[in-house]
């Protein structure tokens, strides 16, 4: 028995191992610094250690990246170009979030050790999801992400809203995880394998040899898609999103709004394209319905919001619906010689959309964190009234992020929408493209309303620049670079889109 045991290739999992070790180090030093308030030196040490964890993890990813597909841990852990690319983006996103969140946590005396450890633990869960080639690590990574996120939401124990939001996220998250697990168990019962890549082969083989009962497959697929929709925040499985965004501390909201979207996109792509490709005709129709409902509910309800965090929550629902458009038209109904090229182009457009959405969302929440101070969260539209009079620089940054998410030229959000719509039109779904354009025009209203408050409304009496002078120069510089990236990628988007296209072409 022991002679047949194969030692796994730990080198492929070196980034995750390194991140785990450094996360435990952050926990250890954080435990010994739980005096209130935490000294600035100890706080700086913890943040430096957390940044070293992310930078070191990214370094290991670059060091082992060779563009080749490899499997280890009994084919449960997958290493390929797509995994490396998405892992780098997740680490970069979390590193930026740490910079944006540092002052907010210090002003509210939130223990930095707990926050950083939970954030690194959620990052580890995302990395495991991205590299999962098996239902077991996929589910373990998902639960690691979900439970650590739940603790992050409830981290500010003095706020009843945070506790309520955490309870809602836990209850609805458990329900969605049950849906996903039940669907995966049904698919395992039909295919006889837990490997994601093996499910497609088993389904295809049985369909050609002994016939296949599609009813349990489609039934299981419905539950899987429902679970994925919850993790993406797509309607009608969006109930948790507005309350959690609103109730959680803003740094925790920023984490939920950004990096997990990349991991959820990877999970959707791995499962649907890599595992359930023979059922594409079924899950494409499901995604199409989810996309239309998400764009409709997200944009309509966002108009009525006076709270910026809730507005961005419903905005996220609409954006995830737009992203699903590329996934639901990626495989043409009629097989042609260019079917693979059409699919890769559509999925790369969806990936490009997710990445640009994360870039703009991180910047928008960064402005909110910079404006906020102790006792003032800067999360209402009225808080941005006359911002241009108080800080023209900050108002300009927020305007860039809002225009990008609205999809107006010449910012990266415009080209992301254009790329997705191009794939929808090329696939012949003109009605779907028309609905997407109409919903995008509707969604532009609430983004432009933020700009109207900043530039055309008078600042309240006694309003100040909200402590901008005390803001660390690193946060100011990074926020400016974030806005420049949104603007420049809108003018020169082809490089990033080409990278997405190459990564998917090599990986699938």
Mean pLDDT of 288-294: 94
Q: CA 400, CA 412: separation in Å to the nearest integer?
A: 10
Mean pLDDT of 294-298: 95
> Ranked by mean pLDDT, which of 2-6, 142-146, 189-193, 324-328 comes out on top?
142-146
Nearest to 126 by CA among 138, 116, 110, 111: 138
Residue 102 CA neighbour count, 13 Å, CB half: 23
> Greater confidence, 339 or 233?
233
Q: Which residues have C-beta within 8 Å of that of residue 391, sequence separation ≥ 6?
A: 465, 468
pLDDT of residue 39: 78
Residue 294 CA neighbour count, 13 Å, CB half: 27
pLDDT of residue 278: 82
Query: Is it the case that residue 86 has pLDDT exceeding 90?
Result: yes
Q: In which region does residue 467 sit, left (phi positive, over 0), alpha (psi from -120 to 50) or beta (all else)?
A: left
pTM summary value: 0.94
Q: CA 83, CA 12: separation in Å to the nearest integer?
A: 11
> Under a CB-based contact definition with an 8 Å cutoff, are residues 134 and 194 in contact?
yes
**288-292, 295-299, 330-334: segment of lowest average pLDDT:** 330-334
pLDDT of residue 36: 61
> Under a CB-based contact definition with an 8 Å cutoff, are residues 436 and 323 in contact?
no
| pLDDT tens for each residue of 336-382 | 445 667 788 889 999 999 999 999 999 999 999 998 887 778 888 98
| pLDDT tens for each residue of 33-61 | 555 667 778 888 999 999 999 999 999 99
Query: Is it the case that residue 82 has pLDDT exceeding 90?
Result: yes
Mean pLDDT of 72-78: 89
pLDDT of residue 1: 43
Q: Is 177 exposed, middle or buried (0-12, 13-18, 19+ CB in 10 A)?
A: middle
Above pLDDT 90, what percent of the chain?
Answer: 60
For the chain, domain boundaries: 8-507
Residue 158 CA neighbour count, 13 Å, CB half: 5
Q: CA 302, CA 312: separation in Å to the nearest integer?
A: 8
Query: Is it the case that residue 315 has pLDDT exceeding 70?
Result: yes
Query: Is it the case that residue 210 has pLDDT exceeding 70?
Result: no
Mean pLDDT of 110-117: 90
Above pLDDT 70, what percent of the chain?
Answer: 92
**Per-residue confidence band for 279, with pLDDT thresholds at 50, 70 and 90:** confident
pLDDT of residue 239: 86
Cα 260–chain centre separation: 3
> Greater confidence, 158 or 57?
57
pLDDT of residue 125: 96
Mean pLDDT of 480-486: 95
**Per-residue confidence band for 224, with pLDDT thresholds at 50, 70 and 90:** very high
> Greater confidence, 281 or 291?
291
> Ranked by mean pLDDT, which of 106-115, 117-126, 383-392 comes out on top?
117-126
Q: CA 329, CA 423: separation in Å to the nearest integer?
A: 7
- In the block, residue with structure tokens 């669907």: 183
Mean pLDDT of 74-83: 91
């Amino acid at each position: 028995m022991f002679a047949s045991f194969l030692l796994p290739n730990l080198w492929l999992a070196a980034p995750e191992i390194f991140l785990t070790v450094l996360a435990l180090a952050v926990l250890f030093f954080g435990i010994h610094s739980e005096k209130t308030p935490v000294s600035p030196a100890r706080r700086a040490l913890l943040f430096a250690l957390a940044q070293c964890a992310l930078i070191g993890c990214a370094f290991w990813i670059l060091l082992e990246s060779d563009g080749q597909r490899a499997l280890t841990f009994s084919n449960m852990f997958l290493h390929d170009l797509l995994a490396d690319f998405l892992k780098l983006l997740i680490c970069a996103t979390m590193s930026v979030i740490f910079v944006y969140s540092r002052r907010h946590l210090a002003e509210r005396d939130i223990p930095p050790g707990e926050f950083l450890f939970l954030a690194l633990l959620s990052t580890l869960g995302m990395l495991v999801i991205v590299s999962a080639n098996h239902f077991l690590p996929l589910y373990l990574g998902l639960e690691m992400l979900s439970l650590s996120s739940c603790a992050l939401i409830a981290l500010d124990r003095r706020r009843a809203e945070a506790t309520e939001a955490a309870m809602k996220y836990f209850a609805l998250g458990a329900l969605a995880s049950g849906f996903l697990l039940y669907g995966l168990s049904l698919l395992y019962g039909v295919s006889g394998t837990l490997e994601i890549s093996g499910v497609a082969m088993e389904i295809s083989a049985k369909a050609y040899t002994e016939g296949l009962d599609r009813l349990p497959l489609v039934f299981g697929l419905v539950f899987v898609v429902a679970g994925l929709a919850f993790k993406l925040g797509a309607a009608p499985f969006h109930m948790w999103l507005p309350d959690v965004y609103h109730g959680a501390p803003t740094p925790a909201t920023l984490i939920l709004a950004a990096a997990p979207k990349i991991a959820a996109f990877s999970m959707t792509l791995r499962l649907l394209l890599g595992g359930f490709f023979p059922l594409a005709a079924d899950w494409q129709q499901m995604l199409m319905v989810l996309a239309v409902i998400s764009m409709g509910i997200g944009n309509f309800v966002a108009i009525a919001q006076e709270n910026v965090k809730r507005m961005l929550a419903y905005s996220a629902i609409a954006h995830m619906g737009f992203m699903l458009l590329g996934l639901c038209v990626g495989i043409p109904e009629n097989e042609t010689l260019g079917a693979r090229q059409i699919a890769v182009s559509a999925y790369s457009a969806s990936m490009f959309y997710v990445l640009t959405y994360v870039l703009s969302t991180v910047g928008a929440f960064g402005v909110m964190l910079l404006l906020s101070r102790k006792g003032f969260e800067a999360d209402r539209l009225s808080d941005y009234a006359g911002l241009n009079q108080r800080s023209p620089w900050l108002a300009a940054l927020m305007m860039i992020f809002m225009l990008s998410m609205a999809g107006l030229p010449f910012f990266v959000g415009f080209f992301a929408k254009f790329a997705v719509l191009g794939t929808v039109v090329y696939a012949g779904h003109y009605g779907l493209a028309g609905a997407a354009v109409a919903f995008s025009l509707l969604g532009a209203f609430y983004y432009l309303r933020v700009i109207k408050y900043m530039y055309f409304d008078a600042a309240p009496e006694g309003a100040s620049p909200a402590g901008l002078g005390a803001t660390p120069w690193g946060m100011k510089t990074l926020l400016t670079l974030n806005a420049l990236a949104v603007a420049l990628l809108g003018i020169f988007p082809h490089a990033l889109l080409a990278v997405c296209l190459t990564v998917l072409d090599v990986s699938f």
